[in-house]
Structure 1
Amino acid sequence: MTGTPILARLRGSARTAWQIVRGVVGENAYERYLDHHRRNHSDEEPLTERAFWRRHVDRQDATPGSRCC
């Protein structure tokens, strides 16, 4: 079957593209926070996802900088 490698590559490309989009819109911010926390603050309990997003939104509201919305 010659179609299988092509489909596998398309799936891989789509997965990569989706991860890029998630990074651009900030959807993977909590995952990046957990990675950072694990590497640099392993002796402390990380924020829950809900607490992280609340703090993230509060910080954006307090210092909006230049953003479109």
Structure 2
Amino acid sequence: MSVADESGRARQMREKAQEMQKAAERVQDPQERQRLQDKARRLEEQSKRESDLGSSAGIDPM
């Protein structure tokens, strides 16, 4: 997978996380709200990890 693919995937995950967070704000059920917030947080963390991996792929450690 290329760096561009990885950064695109990370961006898509961040967008999905934002959508879930917005959906959580609209949900009346507290359990469903918590589930959506947790899933959004996990996606955001995963996108950050993938973004970090993609950005360090081109760095020469010496």
| TM above 0.5 | no
TM-score, normalised via structure 2 length: 0.43
TM-score, normalised via structure 1 length: 0.39
- Structure whose residues are more often helix by fraction: 2
Which structure exhibits the higher relative contact order, with contacts defined as CA atoms closer than 8 Å and separated by 6 or more residues?
2
